[in-house]
Chains A and B, each alone.
Chain A
Amino acid sequence: MLDIKHLTTGYGSHVITHEINATLMPGELTSLLGSNGVGKSTLLRTLSTFLPPLSGEIVLQGKALGSLSASELSRLIGVVLTERPDVQNMTVRDMVSMGRSPYTGFWGRLTPKDEQYVTEAMKLAGITQLEHRMINTLSDGERQKVMIAKVLSQQTPVILLDEPTAFLDFPSKIEMMRLLRRLAHEMQKIIFLSTHDVEMALRLSDRLWIMHPGEVVIGKPAELSQNGELTRFIQVDGVRFDPVLMSYRILM
């Protein structure tokens, strides 16, 4: 369980989100929705400990993240970023095995057990057939799956993803979200992602966080649909949200 207590995020004196209180549950896929610039990335960066919180704390398995060392953190929280690593001459297998580095020794050599975890991670992400391909020859969707396999081999109870579907074509978006949902359910992981693909998030997430300037509304997709929160988020000029069908319609 990841508890967020009175968390205020931002840079220096610039507050972006104020006093968030929430809990992320294992076995659930949680999606973070919000307009551009509302603070999704800042929140994700704070949860990933790339950015210190302005106040409040984040507690994972009873321990405050701020009190943990870098190596302890690397075994608890795994991230998939929007930026794609631009590495030449690295095979998929090599990239996935980078996820083992929090566990390997000084020289980073993999034990047979590490190799086994790497193989399993590639299988889970469905990229076993790409094993010996070079990263720079892959499509965006394939590359994203490699980064997911990498984070799986890191074996962290929490996985945070910043817009994992951003660069993907439509079928790959669905495939990616279904994969993440399956991983959350089957492996009892906390999976938290930000996205702009509203409909996909509605259908495939267990829980939604809708971020407005200054507040975060949290609930199951059906609840937020019923109580009008989704209508409030989606309904702009020319768009109508249908709470029963959980879908929006663009007025011509």
Chain B
Amino acid sequence: MKRSIIITLLVIAMLLLALANMLWGSLSIPVADVVQILLGGQVEAHPQWTYIILESRFPQMLTALLCGMSLSTCGLMLQTLFRNPLAGPSILGIDAGANLGVALVMLLLGGTVTLGSLSMSGYLLVIVAAVLGALCIMLLLLLLSSLLRNPVMLLITGVIISYVTGSVISLLNYSATEEGVHNFIIWGMGNFSGVSLDRLPLFCILIMLGLMAALLLVKPLDAILLGERYATNLGVNVHKTRNWLLLCTGLLTATTTAFCGPVSFLGLAVPHIARMTLRTSRHRVMLPGSMLMGGCLTLVCNLLCTMPRSGSIIPVNVLTPLIGAPVILYVILKKR
């Protein structure tokens, strides 16, 4: 099948899934009414529908969509940067870094940081801490990646990093106040419904920034596929590109982790699914392709997570390893 057709189909699938996410829930609301509410109208007989659609289903749908797009983009960029098919934000421990950053400010500093006259607290602080935590791990991995050429070794390093951050977090939990621990646990359970309508704009802006920056890196990313030296020979400033990639993946992973909690395996799996369907490595095709597939996949996850009628929500992390694990196995077996 031609790539343009696949991309078009993905766009259509994404739109349909987005609509399905708006319709699916404990309460059934007719399509016409959903559309009317989304366009700014009211349904006279059921004023509470407006609240359900705008305050709950719409933010949740958009969060799931952007989260999937951003994690798949990160996965693709990390796989290219480390030239390692097993790279991904969760498996390399980058979201664990974001986790640690958040734990540090929430548990150790009590949720407020004051630097001279600048005081930061609440959500903004959580995001900044998550970004810094993610960047630290990325830097560490980059330093180690020149020593760890073997894909599996890098993977093991990621697992070790996750364990170490995990133990630091336990230690922080142990010595923190009851309120701090409570806040941190609430945050850590996060899912796609964690972003409320008033926080949605900030989330959207941060993710869009990251996704746009990723798209701007299409050409150097292609060159980096050939290795550092070939890329340099093609006139690409490898050092600068690496820094941009670091910043971009750090921002995207940290933002999704800060708002939705750690979502595992998606970032690793989606680029492989995209490669299998699109049959190319060129980022001009792969980046939009992975974004769309990631978006579709999280929208499907969100549908499956929302139990109709009962209204209860299964954590996303219950589903994502079911998709991710077979892909990892496939990659390892193929590499053998």
B232-A85 in contact (CB<8A): no
A79-B229 in contact (CB<8A): yes
Residues of A within 8 A of B219 (CB): 101, 104, 106-108
Residues of B within 8 A of A48 (CB): 229, 233
Interface size class of A (residues with CB under 8 A): 20 to 34
Cα of A101 to Cα of B220 in the assembled complex, Å: 9
B222-A85 in contact (CB<8A): no
B280-A89 in contact (CB<8A): yes
Interface bits A103-140 vs B (CB < 8 Å: 1, else 0): 01011110000000000000000000000000000000
Residues of B within 8 A of A90 (CB): 225, 280-282
Cα of A17 to Cα of B126 in the assembled complex, Å: 54
Residues of A within 8 A of B229 (CB): 48, 50, 79, 81, 83
A77-B233 in contact (CB<8A): yes
Contact of B222 among A83, A102, A108 (CB under 8 A): A108
Report the number of A-B residue pairs with Cβ-Cβ less than 8 Å.
Answer: 73
Stretch of B111-119, B140-148, B234-242 that contacts chain A? B234-242
Q: Distance (Å) between the CB of B309 and the closest chain A CB?
A: 44
Per the CB 8 Å criterion, the residue count for chain B at the interface is 24
Cα of A48 to Cα of B231 in the assembled complex, Å: 12
In the complex, residue of chain A having the shortest beta-carbon distance to the beta carbon of B216: A106
A86-B83 in contact (CB<8A): yes
A101-B234 in contact (CB<8A): yes
Residues of B within 8 A of A165 (CB): none
Cα of A71 to Cα of B220 in the assembled complex, Å: 13
Asked, given contacts A83-B227, A85-B227, whether A102 binds B280 with beta carbons under 8 Å apart, the answer is no
Residues of A within 8 A of B275 (CB): 88-89
For chain B residues 16-35, which have a beta carbon within 8 Å of chain A? Answer: none
Contact of B284 among A83, A98, A99, A108 (CB under 8 A): A108
A70-B279 in contact (CB<8A): no
In the complex, residue of chain A having the shortest beta-carbon distance to the beta carbon of B85: A88
**Is A31 an interface residue, CB under 8 A from the partner?**
no
For chain B residues 213-256, which have a beta carbon within 8 Å of chain A? Answer: 216, 218-219, 222-223, 225-227, 229-230, 232-237
Asked, given contacts A94-B281, A104-B219, whether A87 binds B226 with beta carbons under 8 Å apart, the answer is yes
Residues of B within 8 A of A104 (CB): 219
A108-B218 in contact (CB<8A): yes
B225-A87 in contact (CB<8A): yes
In the complex, residue of chain B having the shortest beta-carbon distance to the beta carbon of A102: B235
Cα of A78 to Cα of B282 in the assembled complex, Å: 21
Q: By CB atoms of chain B within 10 A, which of A89, A102, A106 has the most?
A: A89
Cα of A147 to Cα of B85 in the assembled complex, Å: 22
Cα of A111 to Cα of B225 in the assembled complex, Å: 22
Residues of B within 8 A of A106 (CB): 216, 219
Residues of B within 8 A of A77 (CB): 233
A74-B234 in contact (CB<8A): yes
**Is A194 an interface residue, CB under 8 A from the partner?**
no
Q: Distance (Å) between the CB of B7 and the closest chain A CB?
A: 16
**Is A73 an interface residue, CB under 8 A from the partner?**
yes
Residues of A within 8 A of B281 (CB): 87-90, 94
In the complex, residue of chain A having the shortest beta-carbon distance to the beta carbon of B283: A108
Cα of A101 to Cα of B281 in the assembled complex, Å: 15
Cα of A50 to Cα of B228 in the assembled complex, Å: 10
Residues of A within 8 A of B226 (CB): 85, 87, 98
In the complex, residue of chain A having the shortest beta-carbon distance to the beta carbon of B228: A50
Q: Distance (Å) between the CB of A111 and the closest chain B CB?
A: 15
Q: Distance (Å) between the CB of B99 and the closest chain A CB?
A: 31
In the complex, residue of chain A having the shortest beta-carbon distance to the beta carbon of B275: A89
Contact of B280 among A75, A81, A94, A108 (CB under 8 A): A94
Contact of A79 among B218, B230, B284 (CB under 8 A): B230
Residues of A within 8 A of B232 (CB): 50, 70
A74-B233 in contact (CB<8A): yes
Q: Distance (Å) between the CB of B230 and the closest chain A CB?
A: 6
In the complex, residue of chain B having the shortest beta-carbon distance to the beta carbon of A78: B233
**Is A155 an interface residue, CB under 8 A from the partner?**
no
Residues of A within 8 A of B83 (CB): 86
Cα of A74 to Cα of B216 in the assembled complex, Å: 21
Q: Distance (Å) between the CB of A11 and the closest chain B CB?
A: 15
Q: By CB atoms of chain B within 10 A, which of A70, A88, A98 has the most?
A: A88
B280-A74 in contact (CB<8A): no
Interface bits A34-71 vs B (CB < 8 Å: 1, else 0): 00000000000000101000000000000000000011
In the complex, residue of chain A having the shortest beta-carbon distance to the beta carbon of B221: A108
In the complex, residue of chain B having the shortest beta-carbon distance to the beta carbon of A75: B235
Q: By CB atoms of chain A within 10 A, which of B219, B227, B235 has the most?
A: B235
B225-A70 in contact (CB<8A): no
Q: Distance (Å) between the CB of B274 and the closest chain A CB?
A: 10
For chain B residues 104-128, which have a beta carbon within 8 Å of chain A? Answer: none
Q: Which 4 A-B pairs have the closest CB atoms?
A: A74-B235, A108-B219, A71-B235, A85-B226
User: What are 18 residue pairs bridging A and B, where the CB atoms are less than 8 Å apart in the complex?
Assistant: A48-B229, A48-B233, A71-B235, A73-B235, A77-B233, A78-B233, A85-B226, A87-B225, A87-B226, A94-B281, A98-B223, A99-B234, A101-B234, A102-B234, A104-B219, A107-B218, A108-B222, A109-B284
Other A-B contacts than A79-B229, A89-B280, A101-B236, 4 sampled, CB-CB below 8 A, are: A50-B229, A87-B281, A108-B222, A109-B284
